[in-house]
Amino acid sequence: MKKYFEVKADQYVAGKNFLVYRPASLKNPKNNSVMFIMEKYIDNIDVFRKVKDCLIFWPDKFEIPEDINNMHAVVSCASPHTEFARFFSANSITYLPDIEDVKLVNGAYIAKNAIIGNNCKIFPGVYIGGEVKIGNNVYIGSGAKIVGEVYIGNNVVIRENAVLGVDGLTTDRDENGRALTIPQFGKIIIEDDVQIGVSSIVARGAIDETRICRGSKIDALCWISHNLYIDEDTFVVCGTMTLGSGSIGKRCLVSANSTLMAIHVGDDSIVGAGAVVTK
């Protein structure tokens, strides 16, 4: 399992002599990870009993169960999400893409470790990073950039100047009002027969993944935020903005210039042009 950093847990809780190597979510907990739980998810604490040796930021309004306290380094605090963000700045942890050895193929810059399938059309001006894996019969238009851990299926179309693998924005501040940044460690999964339009942007997951499922079509100038899940055969029309950690069901139509907050849109839904959907 990949290690992103090494931080001693006893910096936070005395006597906890283990290291944490990675972030993890409640949805996908991992051993030796840094995690947090917010008040609204407190009923999900059983996930911490499935792993060991984690650093956990815990809401101070709730008692820490003895068994979880023994298994992990648990820090009680007023704002677990803020303390999770502070963890990275305090330990000088970032996760920006590295400069990689590349080969120039038909004017495209392709990292030597990238995996490219058969019968792909990759145009001049494209950049593909070393953690990218691309299936067969994929079209990548001029100027597209694909960085970070990105998995692209078969028969995918990525139009000109699209960017896959950018970081999503977090909006935490410390007690002095200074902005905090949470590095984005997740990946992107683009399933078969997906289309990504001109100058659209797909952010990688914050911890887990951003996923666009089979057959969905993303129009031009759309922002697909971190952790978004778009189910099969959905249309997202030009100018749409999505916020992180939401989901859109199957066979939906999200019309032009709409904004979706961190919500779930059910199957077969229509979101009208210019709509702002908050719940």
Write out pLDDT tens, residues 27-67: 999 999 999 999 999 999 999 999 999 999 999 999 999 99
Residues 232-251: what's their mean pLDDT? Answer: 97
Residue 170 pLDDT greater than 90, yes or no = no
| Helical residues (DSSP H) of the chain, grouped into ranges | 66-71, 80-90
**R_g over Cα of the chain:** 20
Structure tokens at 75: 């820090």
Residue 227 pLDDT greater than 90, yes or no = yes
Give CA 198 to chain center in angstroms.
21
The predicted structure's pLDDT at residue 157: 98
Write out pLDDT tens, residues 100-110: 999 999 999 99
Q: For residue 17, name the pLDDT band (cuts at 50, 70, 90).
A: very high
Mean pLDDT rounded to a whole number for the chain: 97
**pTM (2 d.p.):** 0.94
What whole-number percentage of the chain has pLDDT above 90? 96
**Three state DSSP letters for 102-126:** EEEECCEEEECCCEECCCCEECCCC
- 264 is annotated as an active-site residue: no
Write out pLDDT tens, residues 148-164: 999 999 999 999 999 99
Catalytic residue among 72, 81, 226, 264: 226
Q: For residue 1, name the pLDDT band (cuts at 50, 70, 90).
A: confident
Distance CA 194, CA 104 (A): 26
